[in-house]
Amino acid sequence: MRVSVIIPTLNEERTISETLARAARSGADEIVVVDGGSSDGTVARAKSTSKAVGPLPAIHLLTAPPGRARQMNAGAAASRGNILLFLHADTELPDGAVAAVTRACGDDGCVGGRFDVRFDTSHGWAPVIATLMNWRSRWTGIATGDQALFVRRDVFTRLGGFPDIPLMEDIEFTRRLKRQGRLAALRLRVTTSYRRWERNGAVGTILLMWLLRALYWLGMSPERLARLYAEVR
């Protein structure tokens, strides 16, 4: 099985180099970076990192209209792997990540899955929040993008990719995905940035996330949720 790592970016010059380096060391067959129109040095740093990493794995750079769902769908269309692993630009894969994904998808009943998550700091609320995220995801079968979602290409195609919505695309995608078969909840942990929680405060961010998800399940449109999210943060 060939695994393609797809990374949507928008103004991620501080994180993209290390994310790419870790993805390359993870054993990926190819890496596709899809930029949504960054105004900082994201693209330049991605290019310099791809040269430093070398020819294996191949690192492809392309652009797409901004929007995480659109960018990830564009990356999937340009990739060649039969397993797609979607990685946030501020999330780092652990060593052995691709081998773990390949083993999970070696089970014909497994259509995809996600990793456990930890933050890049152990201070304050970070370990508690990460533990709760992992428990919630394992209990509900719903995962978020910072848990590095992966899926078989044929299943991704059958589902029509990520829904073209400005928010909750990961929640909606995994909700649909778990209807297709078993999802692997890998114990191996990706490391994601704690910057959002630090900027807005742990308790405030938790309450905001709960509010947005509750409103989404109650039927509020992703467009209205995106406006609310932008206003609150």
Beta-strand runs (E) in 164-211 = 182-192
Provide the residue type at 112 as one letter: G
Options 3.30.1740.10, 3.90.550.10, 1.20.1250.20, 3.40.50.720; which CATH number does 3-196 get? 3.90.550.10
Provide the residue type at 26 as one letter: S
Quote the CA–CA distance of 199 and 56 in Å, as a whole number.
37
> What is the pLDDT at residue 203?
67
> What is the pLDDT at residue 230?
57
Quote the CA–CA distance of 69 and 75 in Å, as a whole number.
10
> What is the pLDDT at residue 121?
92
> What is the pLDDT at residue 232?
38
Quote the CA–CA distance of 145 and 174 in Å, as a whole number.
10
The pTM of this model reads 0.90
> What is the pLDDT at residue 233?
34
> Each residue's pLDDT tens digit in the chain (233 positions)?
899 999 999 999 999 999 999 999 999 999 999 999 999 999 999 999 988 777 778 899 999 999 999 999 999 999 999 999 999 999 999 999 999 999 999 998 999 999 999 999 988 889 998 999 999 999 999 999 999 999 999 999 999 999 999 888 999 999 999 999 999 999 999 999 988 777 767 666 776 777 777 776 777 777 777 776 654 33
Residue 137's alpha-carbon distances to 82, 105, 145, 150, 166, in angstroms, are 24, 19, 11, 14, 21
